Amino acid sequence: MKHTELHEELSKIFTELRTKKIEVKQAKELFNGASKILSNCKNELQAIQMGFKVDVPLLGIKKGTIKK
CA distance 46 to 15: 32
Question: 54: Cβ–Cβ under 8 A, 6 or more apart, which residues?
Answer: 44, 47, 48, 63
Quickly count: other Cβ atoms within 10 Å of residue 44's Cβ.
19
CA distance 2 to 62: 13
pLDDT, one tens digit per residue, over 15-42 is: 999 999 999 999 999 999 999 999 999 9
Q: Is the dihedral of CA 41, 47, 50, 54 positive or negative?
A: negative
pTM for the predicted model, two decimal places: 0.85
Q: 63 or 10, which is more confident? A: 10
